[in-house]
Amino acid sequence: MSVLNLNTSISYLKSVGPNRAELLKTELGINTFNDLLNFYPNRYIDRTQFFKINQLQQNSSEIQLIGKITLVKSVQQKQGSRLVATFVDESGTMELVWFRGAKWIKESLKINTPYVIFGKSNYFNGMYTIPHPEMELLSDYKKNLRTAMQAVYPSTEKLNNKGISNRVVSKIIQTLFEELQGTFQETLSLNIIGQYQFISKNEALFNIHFPKNQELLTKAQQRLKFEELFFIQMQLIRKNMIHKSKIKGFNFEKVGTYFNTFYKEKLPFELTNAQKRVLKEIRKDLGSNAQMNRLLQGDVGSGKTIVALLTMLIALDNGFQAAFMAPTEILATQHYNSLIALLEGMNVNVKLLTGSTKTAERRLLHKQLEQGELHILIGTHALIEDKVIFKNLGIAIIDEQHRFGVEQRSKLWRKNELPPHILVMTATPIPRTLAMSVYGDLDASVIDELPPGRKEIVTAHRYDAHRLSVFKFLKEEIAKGGQVYIVYPLINESETMDYKDLMDGYESIVREFPRPTYQVSIVHGKMKSEDKEFEMQRFIKGETHIMVATTVIEVGVDVPNASVMVIESAERFGLSQLHQLRGRVGRGADQSYCILMTSFKLTSDAKTRIETMVQTSDGFEIAEVDLALRGPGNLMGTQQSGVLDLKIADIIKDHQLLKNARSIAMNLLKNDPNLSLEEHKPIKIAYQEISKKSTLWANIS
């Protein structure tokens, strides 16, 4: 058989033609034979079952009947007319109704001829009716390919209105199968097929459209899901391999005096095993001649900052500069202060650059940077402005990466001949399956262990009505020397309602916690940055007892003495945000608390979120719940990925298949990077075909 070209336009298909082709294209994005083959049904219905009219019940779903039309009449109504046909079988009478296309339907209907009709029945004025039924002459019905499971395809109103019903689509696909004689090239290797007992590509495609029985349908779905996930993983992993072999990076050969002195003399604690492991992974990358492109995940409080610092010191040891970028000014300032403290007595020049850095300071900084006198530059987005020129930037570390766009990240290394190594750090745990899909082309490290001696944060849910007892508790904590955060939701920085809540809240707090016994700070996005910084510093130094804030403190801020986090209107926050906020406490040796305040009325999702927070403090577990609640497309950083536009697989439900697909793809590419072995030929051909069309989003590079 000649291999028919799957890229042929569907307009060449008998039963399609230019008009239908255009509609299928605009409505469903189907252009080619291949698109049509991969246009999978979203459900299946049993079409071997027939009902009798006297068996119909109100609210029955889609049903199938055999009978005859005895009478057709047009009924005039306000807009146009409606066509009503009387339909009978040996058990009773019902009506078929059309509101559109009455004229040509009337002409095509045959009286007293057996039909098979299919549709959703309504009960109306003592009579069952089916609006716009699908109809087929019984004689044709018997001739056609018929299976127990009839595919139901996604459709649109426009297609339905233009008469391209499900039956028509099914028919078109049937013609396609006849045309192609059901011979499709295998796309997996015999090895994989054998290992998972997959059915062939041929059988899978046939059964996904025309399942012979439930068992074969399930097998078809398994095989096609695997295949979809497998080829995405192949692309991601291959991208990573190509990146490593093509993109040269600075070779940091040695670990020298900066690192060693710091490690031996300045490190205030012993690193956790997880920190040590991650550091090893990073060091290996840095000495590999390729550009490091690594994602570092670590729950809040797991100690990413020290890893960042040690990594930067390796760059310094090799004569390079380092940049450390944070999403907010508060956070950048905090990193700056803690690095300065940690590096005290060492000869390292560290500077801070943010939007509020004064011009004179800025000039000096630019100069030192260009001459290589400045070793480490910490800052916000200000770091990527064109005026900021490094002498030799060796590594860029980006904290809380989801706050930066792809565009901004890549700007950092347009400043060099060779790209600097990149370490992206995030405290938003990404569920494993999602990480595999969205960041599958990055190397990933995880700090999965908290520093020793941390006490589990006690988390409680309280209704607004119990505010007084919460205040009483806060007073006790403050009396013991603790400090308190009270956070208000600020969903939209410009929303005046939210500000009113915040300011009202602040006033009532000040009333409840009067000066001079108590001191209260406030920080929000509308404040000038020096005022913000001033208030932050008062709290950090322990001069104030309570910090009333919006989510500007969500990321990174580290005040070990703060032991209570109160979150107002907690039902308005997402899970990952709640988790981030809670991570602001529990950093010191004392027992810490998180109190989630809500109103009495909660949606079921909000209830789940609050309950999850009360039950667990494991960021990965929380991320899994978040994924289940919101779906993969709504989580941080996934929107633009394209990796999640899956046709048949579901990264949550099919996570086991995904893991298998990834590990198989990984092994395969390790042993045969160019797919040149004979047994991998089918994979190679399919891979080339897929990657031609693929628009997989470039994560970092």
Contact residues for Mg ion, defined by CB under 5 A: 556
Residue of the chain from 300, 547, 567, 658 that contacts ligand ADP (CB under 6 A): 300
Q: Which is it for the CA torsion 522, 526, 527, 532, positive or negative?
A: positive
The residue (of 119 and 556) whose beta carbon lies closer to ligand ADP is 556
Nearest residue (CB) to ligand ADP, 122 versus 616: 616
Q: Is residue 271 within the footprint of ligand ADP (CB under 6 A)?
A: yes
Least Cβ distance, residue 302 to Mg ion (angstroms): 9
Query: Which residues are registered as beta bridge partners of 127?
Result: 124
Asked whether the beta carbons of 115 and 136 are under 8 A apart, the reply is yes
Strands of 593-598's sheet in order across: 458-463, 593-598, 562-567, 483-487, 546-549, 520-523
Order of strands across the sheet that contains 92-98? 122-124, 127-131, 92-98, 81-89, 62-76, 115-120, 134-137
Contact between residue 315 and residue 376 where contact means Cβ atoms under 8 Å apart: no
**Least distance (Å) between residue 574 CB and Mg ion:** 19
Q: From residue 509 to residue 538, what is the string marking binding to ligand ADP with x (rule CB under 6 A)?
A: ------------------------------
Question: Does 558 sit near ligand ADP (CB under 6 A)?
Answer: yes
Of 2-10, 173-181, 216-224, 270-278, the window that binds ligand ADP (rule: CB under 6 A) is: 270-278
Residue with Cβ nearer Mg ion (287 or 556): 556
CB of 421 to ligand ADP, least distance (A): 19
Query: Looking up tokens 């608390």, which residue turns up?
Result: 593
**Which tokens go with 175?**
């013609």
Residue 306: contacted member of Mg ion, ligand ADP, none (CB under 5 to 8 Å, by partner type): ligand ADP
CB nearer ligand ADP, residue 451 or residue 631: 451
Pick what 303 binds: ligand ADP, Mg ion, none; C-beta below 5 to 8 Å, kind-dependent.
ligand ADP
What span, in angstroms and rounded, lies between the C-alpha atoms of 564 and 558? 13
DSSP string, 361-382: HHHHHHHHHHHT---EEEESGG
| Cβ at position 272, least distance to ligand ADP in Å | 5
Which residue is at the shortest CB distance from ligand ADP? 303
Closest to ligand ADP by CB, 267 or 479: 267
Does position 325 interact with ligand ADP (CB under 6 A)? The reply is no
Would you say 151 or 300 has its CB closer to ligand ADP? 300
219 is an interface residue for ligand ADP by CB under 6 A: no
Measured between alpha carbons, how far is 29 from 159 in angstroms, rounded to an integer?
A: 12
Instruction: Give the residue with the Cβ less far from ligand ADP, 303 or 682.
Output: 303
State the Cα–Cα distance between residues 431 and 628, nearest whole angstrom.
Answer: 10
Window contacting ligand ADP (CB under 6 A); options: 283-291, 416-424, 555-563, 629-637: 555-563
Give 545 or 587: the residue with its C-beta nearer to Mg ion.
Answer: 587
305 or 577: whose CB is closer to ligand ADP?
A: 305
Cα–Cα dist 392/418, whole Å:
9
- x/- letters, 566..605, toward ligand ADP (CB under 6 A): ---------------------x------------------
Where does residue 374 rank: exposed (0-12), middle (13-18), buried (19+ CB within 10 A)? buried
3-class SS letters over 497-516: HHHHHHHHHHHHHHHHCCCC
The residue among 394 and 556 lying less far from Mg ion, judged by its C-beta, is 556
In angstroms, the CA 40 to CA 51 distance is 28
Output helix, strand, coil percentages for the chain, rounded to the nearest 5: 45, 20, 35
Q: Applying CB under 6 A, which of residues 129, 272, 550, 612 lies at the interface with ligand ADP?
A: 272
Min. distance of Cβ 399 from Mg ion in angstroms?
6
Residue nearer to Mg ion on the CB measure, 238 or 381? 381
The correct pick among 560, 608, 629, 681 for binding ligand ADP (CB under 6 A) is 560
Two tokens, residue 288? 């590999």
438-467 positions binding ligand ADP, by CB under 6 A? 451
In the complex, the smallest distance separating the C-beta of residue 440 from ligand ADP, rounded to whole angstroms, is 23
Minimum separation from the CB atom of position 425 to ligand ADP (A) = 7
Binder of residue 114, out of Mg ion, ligand ADP, none (CB less than 5 to 8 A by kind): none
Q: Which of 37, 83, 97, 306 binds ligand ADP (CB under 6 A)?
A: 306
Q: Which does 317 bind (CB under 5 to 8 A by kind): ligand ADP, Mg ion, none?
A: none
Counting every residue written for the chain, the total comes to 701
- Name the segment binding ligand ADP (CB under 6 A); options: 228-236, 267-275, 614-622, 673-681: 267-275
Tokens coding 523: 């920080």
295 within 8 A of 282, measured Cβ to Cβ: no
With CA atoms as reference, report the closest residue to 38 among 212, 172, 224, 223.
224
Smallest CA-to-CA distance from 626 within 446, 423, 479, 430 is with 430
Q: Are 232 and 643 in contact, with CB atoms under 8 Å apart? A: yes
DSSP secondary structure string for all residues of 558-604: --TTEEEEEETTGGGS-HHHHHHHHTTSS-SSS--EEEEEE-S---H
**Choices 55-63, 238-246, 297-305, 522-530 (CB under 6 A): range interacting with ligand ADP:** 297-305
In the complex, least distance from residue 57 CB atom to ligand ADP, rounded to whole angstroms: 59
Q: Binding to ligand ADP by residue 298, rule CB under 6 A? A: yes
Check residue 483 for interaction with ligand ADP (CB under 6 A).
no
168 is an interface residue for ligand ADP by CB under 6 A: no
Residue with tokens 């255009």: 22
Cis-peptide, bond into residue 514, ω within 30° of zero: no
For tokens 């336009």, the residue is 9
Query: CA-to-CA distance for 486 and 484, rounded, in angstroms?
Result: 7
Residue 427 binds to ligand ADP (criterion: CB under 6 A): yes
116's tokens:
């098979």
Q: What is the binding site for ligand ADP (CB under 6 A)?
A: 269, 271-272, 275, 298, 300-306, 427, 451, 556, 558, 560, 587
